Structure 1
């Protein structure tokens, strides 16, 4: 979504005729008559297929959050090694987000969705073949890294759907797209639970095997029902300008705190449960019953963050959200030391809930930042209203792309924090302290930059 700018064009081919060729040369979502008679049907069709393809991508990205629960003593991997296996998919997923965004304009949304779906076979097929005792740790690391391709699908899916909807409907459409994708995390964990409960922990290869037909189906659905919008273009100048803007890096850091926490905890939660409460969860299936709950509530509650931001202001919601995340991490730390499972689960679920709310509120802050700056520029006579609006939309798209890529790296940081904590102390307490400190930095930064009273405060953020 970051640098994609659709151009409005009128060509001889009608959208219907162009749609038969999966290429739309005349796309005017801001035209009310066009949207009512033609655009709505096409946009909705593309949205639902995109949600399904992104959902499968998120599930493949999250495969190792489940797979590590199958890796018993016969695999010879200690907890630190397992956390590394859940960290590397997050790292590759973060790296791929920006090029995946740019690929939509370069190759077409339909075309790239087909390719990105088929790329999910790169990890899924060899995992189905190779996952068994005796496989080397280096092989497992390569397989885990390859699942990172699923993390890039979110960015290209959001970039593609962003083209199809008018401005006043983009928030809802992108929220549905993001939420449907995020649900891939608890979905793959439910698949893992089903395999553990039926076939048993000796058959980890069945989990990726379940996704092989879904991957093929996603590619076929994209080929059959998605469209390419001609005229979409990348704007590298917008990326460069956004990269020089301090707000880009402030918002990227805040998104590490929200989305990075969501994906990082989603990858690590089952493993941490087994390690912290081994007496309560002696087998993988015991932990799997609870593993999916956190990502599920975090995914479902994400739209609430956007709704609250609309009503109360994105910066205000984000500030109090980070305060609540710090409190949640503090509760988890206390429960861990007191060996209180009830408080521990409550604290962790709170972290998922607030990371979901924060995902929505931080995304809402980004357009508000540039909208406020555009209004200030018009009032000061530095820009004309039309130019200010174009600049605001251009910079918003670029910042969202960069923040999405940087924010996904939080999944790596969370898992590395758990790994180092268990290596150095034999518990996760040091990681929880690090999370509390990180959330404190985030709420302090939100207040200093966006809420502190003064003449430089941006109104309406």
Structure 2
């Protein structure tokens, strides 16, 4: 058995691991787990700050009172553009791990967070134009890309049996960046501090994250230069099916994270401080429960957990609709927070499905052992970035839906009705594609050379 080598490769600097076989239990127990956990920790740190910067404007708009001359629709537009850019940059960030290596790209992506933070620090004052604020919010969108590269990188470090937990922890630790920036914003507002203070707090932490990634992380040689993996993943129908399902879970999480405070202010007349006291709770609980979603998926099957999670999301949304129509703030807030929790749980279960699906396809092709595991790691890692990008676009859709609903009927009720219908559609797709024929696994005796093997994804 060969231990992972982190000595610099002859033609390139940095910490490179040339042998990596996490499916080998002896390798994993002796050396692999320690290395994987170290990389997971520092990946979470960088991704966490990335999420904070991405969702920074969900807090900044709470600071922006009448003196800034912005309407509620303007504020929804600002946060929508941050969401849009965060979704788009996830695609190149997925490729970046294969081009630069996981360690180097973590350093670069963390360092890039200084650009939107410093830019916002420079212009955040009354009298600045709406266009300038919009451009700064778009710059903040680059923080959304860190998720894609982080998930692609960490996916390669862990064995299939641990992926639900590892990916859930990685993503959950990143997602917590949302409530953390909201809590910091609450503290700043409560202390009568200005938005520049909030921005100034994050600048040194960005530098620390980049330096620690440089000193402590590794890159896996087999992942570098595999730029064709994303192309292969894009050709697979399951990448786009899972993208659709991830819109329902992560799209909801990030969209509601951006919109929650604005909805409380606009529909229920909450002050910035009153809104800030509540805004962070949903994203915090949704982030903390994401690893639980991955763990449940490891144990019971991601498709089953995802299916019933959509039932819960639809039920919570129905309660939100009733509360919105009755103008009941306590019921509205409680149901909205429950919706956050369920979106976080679903985030973990949907992402656990991805490596399971591609591993099942590898077995259907007749691959075995490490060859099958490598195939699954390659395509699932590449697909995660694409799925994450499309899922984040769901957040854009949510904010645009809120904007239109408030412009049309003066409340968010219309938007919530649309979300309820969408969750029903996600339930139907999950059942039809991944759970309709669970018995197929018992009858799947066709030879691997069959053109279209009958597969069951019920346990993925």
TM-score of the pair, normalised by structure 1: 0.89
Partner of 2:411, secondary structure, is: coil
Q: CA deviation at 1:223?
A: 2.2
**Rounded Cα–Cα distance in structure 1 between residues aligned with 2:369 and 2:31:** 30
289-298 or 155-164: which moved more? Answer: 155-164
Asked if 2 retains the 8 angstrom alpha-carbon contact of 1:450 and 1:457, the reply is: no
Q: CA deviation at 1:163?
A: 3.4
Match of 1:358 in 2: 346
State yes or no: 1:429 paired with 2:413.
Answer: yes
Match of 1:410 in 2: 394
State yes or no: 1:131 paired with 2:130.
Answer: no
1:308-349 alpha-carbon deviations (Å, 9 max, x no partner): 223332222211111111111111110011111121011101
- The number of residues matched between the two structures is 443
Match of 1:217 in 2: 208
**Rounded Cα–Cα distance in structure 1 between residues aligned with 2:387 and 2:93:** 14
Match of 1:347 in 2: 335
State yes or no: 1:290 paired with 2:289.
Answer: no
1:260-306 alpha-carbon deviations (Å, 9 max, x no partner): 1001101111111111211xx2x201110000000000000112212
Partner of 1:233, secondary structure, is: coil
Q: Structure 2 residue aligned with 1:246, among 228, 232, 237?
A: 237
**Rounded Cα–Cα distance in structure 1 between residues aligned with 2:108 and 2:379:** 28
Match of 2:292 in 1: 304
Structure 1: runs of 5+ lacking an equivalent: 1-7
State yes or no: 1:183 paired with 2:167.
Answer: no
Distance change (3 Å), C-alpha of 1:317 and 1:51: same
1:80-129 alpha-carbon deviations (Å, 9 max, x no partner): 11011111111111111121121122122222222111111111012112
**Rounded Cα–Cα distance in structure 2 between residues aligned with 1:447 and 1:49:** 37
Partner of 2:380, secondary structure, is: helix
State yes or no: 1:81 paired with 2:74.
Answer: yes
1:433-456 alpha-carbon deviations (Å, 9 max, x no partner): 110111111111112222224766
Asked if 1 retains the 8 angstrom alpha-carbon contact of 2:164 and 2:295, the reply is: no
- 1:20-419 matches, within 5 Å, as 22-30=14-22, 34-200=27-193, 203-278=194-269, 281=270, 283-378=271-366, 388-419=372-403
Q: CA deviation at 1:389?
A: 4.7
Partner of 2:195, secondary structure, is: coil
Q: CA deviation at 1:238?
A: 3.4
**Rounded Cα–Cα distance in structure 1 between residues aligned with 2:8 and 2:230:** 34
Match of 1:4 in 2: none
**Rounded Cα–Cα distance in structure 2 between residues aligned with 1:372 and 1:29:** 19
Asked if 1 retains the 8 angstrom alpha-carbon contact of 2:151 and 2:384, the reply is: no
Distance change (3 Å), C-alpha of 1:25 and 1:436: closer
Q: CA deviation at 1:236?
A: 4.2
**Rounded Cα–Cα distance in structure 2 between residues aligned with 1:229 and 1:131:** 41
**Rounded Cα–Cα distance in structure 2 between residues aligned with 1:45 and 1:385:** 26
121-130 or 392-401: which moved more? Answer: 392-401
Match of 2:448 in 1: none
Q: CA deviation at 1:29?
A: 4.2
Q: CA deviation at 1:35?
A: 4.4
Structure 2: runs of 5+ lacking an equivalent: 441-453
Partner of 1:258, secondary structure, is: helix
Asked if 1 retains the 8 angstrom alpha-carbon contact of 2:164 and 2:348, the reply is: no
**Rounded Cα–Cα distance in structure 1 between residues aligned with 2:101 and 2:74:** 39
Distance change (3 Å), C-alpha of 1:173 and 1:88: same
Partner of 1:77, secondary structure, is: coil
Asked if 1 retains the 8 angstrom alpha-carbon contact of 2:165 and 2:295, the reply is: no
Distance change (3 Å), C-alpha of 1:25 and 1:325: closer
Partner of 2:383, secondary structure, is: helix
Distance change (3 Å), C-alpha of 1:42 and 1:457: closer
Q: CA deviation at 1:377?
A: 4.4
**Rounded Cα–Cα distance in structure 2 between residues aligned with 1:441 and 1:274:** 30
**Rounded Cα–Cα distance in structure 2 between residues aligned with 1:16 and 1:236:** 24
Q: CA deviation at 1:16?
A: 5.9
Instruction: Give the RMSD, CA atoms, in angstroms.
Output: 2.5
Distance change (3 Å), C-alpha of 1:204 and 1:265: same
